[in-house]
Amino acid sequence: MTLDLLLRDYTLQIVALGSAVLGAVSGILGSFAVLRKQSLLGDAVSHAALPGIAFVFLITGVKQTEMLLLGALISGLLGTFMIVSVDRYTRIKFDSALGLTLSSFFGLGLVLLTYIQKIPNANQAGLENFIFGQASTLLKRDVYWMIGLGIMILTVVIVFWKELKIFSFDPEFGKSIGFSDMKINMLLSSITVIAIIIGLQSVGVILMSALLIAPGVAARQWTDKLAIMVLLAAIFGIVAGVIGTIISSLVGNMPTGPVIVVVISLIVFFSLFFATKRGMLWRVMRMKRNRRDINDSKVLVNLYELAMNHDVVYHPHKTNVIMLGKNNKRTDNKHVIKSLLYLCDKGYVKRDYFDTWSITDLGIEKAKRIMANHGGEKL
């Protein structure tokens, strides 16, 4: 039914295509912001675009989308220039510069919008939609604009891929080989501004920051390779854009922009818990496995030392003699038995009569390797 709706509804197709382009572009650029620990950059720049929209309307008195977005572009670039200049030429730190720019530009934008609401002009209605977005108003020409700007951003990323990669992981190395940190910052910020302009009409200045960061955060949980991360972030952005659009069209009075952000947020939470690289669940399982490996190694080394100090190497020892260390307690015996059973399955230990255990030749070699890996020190 959903696929049928997507194939038949022309308006839904336009909005879904625009949201998918927005999601892909946001995911690609957001990956670099996440890696550079500049997640608030998109937040600051998107809020900085608001006064530009209001200024253009005050000057022209018409609500033409292209003109308003041009104002947003200029205002966003001014905000970017302010962030970079404050960070470079003052003692104010980068995060403080972001907060200062965000609050001052957004405050100015709200003041201007409030003033516009009070002047007698019928065209003013709907300007507030740039705060929260209104994807359902997307037209075919808007989507063409989004595709064109998206291709331009993708081209810039491909051309400057090496520089962006170096500065994402090791900016000091980038500066040592002659690249300019300020130019890279300006480049990344400028294309981020353009991406924000793409998304203003769909999700607005407030939610745009979430769409910029969330796909990158989700993709980071699954991989350590930049190319795969950027690709995954783009895919997550597209999926969120399309699914969010479909949900908002199926459920009455459901705003598209916030639904898209909710969908991408769910993808982020799923990735945080279940991603195989950095997911919380997998991390807990990995820690438990490592702890078990350490306990198994301790038990084997203890049994090896008992064997080496006995006249008969293969003499069996009771479980309570095979201790984990000085702090071993009776409650740990079950862990000792569990480790002994595991070592027995591996052929390192042999189970004898009356629940006694002896080390095998394979176990002796294994214990020697464990001790050698730890410099001969006891675990």
Determine whether 263 is exposed, middle or buried from the number of CB atoms within 10 Å of its CB (0-12, 13-18, 19+): buried
Q: Which helix (H) or strand (E) segment is 121 a member of?
A: none
| Per-residue model confidence as pLDDT tens digits over 205-233 | 777 878 888 999 999 999 989 999 999 99
Triad 230, 231, 235: Cα angle to 5° = 115
Mean pLDDT over 292-317 rounds to 85
Lowest mean pLDDT among 5-9, 32-36, 142-146, 322-326: 322-326
Predicted confidence (pLDDT) at residue 377 exceeds the cutoff of 90: no
The answer to whether the beta carbons of residues 87 and 107 sit under 8 Å apart is no
Lowest mean pLDDT among 28-32, 35-39, 155-159, 230-234: 35-39
Determine whether 259 is exposed, middle or buried from the number of CB atoms within 10 Å of its CB (0-12, 13-18, 19+): buried
pTM value? 0.76
Collapsing DSSP to helix, strand or coil, 359 comes out as strand
Between 43 and 289, whose confidence is greater?
Answer: 289
Mean pLDDT over 344-367 rounds to 86
Beta bridge partners of 221: none
Reported as a pLDDT band with limits 50, 70 and 90, residue 326 is very low
Residue with tokens 């230990």: 349
Tell which residue, 145, 253, 135, has the closest CA to residue 201.
135
Rounded alpha-carbon distances, angstroms, from residue 39 to 87, 288, 303, 352: 16, 32, 52, 61
Query: At how many degrees (to 10) do helices 280-308 and 256-274 cross?
Result: 10
Predicted confidence (pLDDT) at residue 49 exceeds the cutoff of 50: yes
Predicted confidence (pLDDT) at residue 248 exceeds the cutoff of 90: no
In eight-state DSSP terms, residue 215 is H
pLDDT of residue 230: 94
The identity of residue 243, as a single letter, is I
Predicted confidence (pLDDT) at residue 91 exceeds the cutoff of 70: yes
Predicted confidence (pLDDT) at residue 278 exceeds the cutoff of 80: yes
Q: Which segments of the chain are extended strands (E)? A: 317-318, 349-352, 356-359
Predicted confidence (pLDDT) at residue 100 exceeds the cutoff of 60: yes
- Give me the percent of the chain exceeding a pLDDT of 70: 93
3-state percent helix, strand, coil for the chain, nearest multiple of 5: 80, 5, 20
Reported as a pLDDT band with limits 50, 70 and 90, residue 24 is very high
The answer to whether the beta carbons of residues 33 and 83 sit under 8 Å apart is no
- Give me the percent of the chain exceeding a pLDDT of 90: 13
Contacts of 73 (CB under 8 A, 6+ apart): 49, 52, 193, 194, 197
The answer to whether the beta carbons of residues 35 and 169 sit under 8 Å apart is yes
Reported as a pLDDT band with limits 50, 70 and 90, residue 6 is low
- Residues 360 and 315: their CA atoms lie apart, in Å, by 10
Residues in the chain: 379
- Residues 187 and 160: their CA atoms lie apart, in Å, by 9
The identity of residue 122, as a single letter, is A
Reported as a pLDDT band with limits 50, 70 and 90, residue 373 is confident
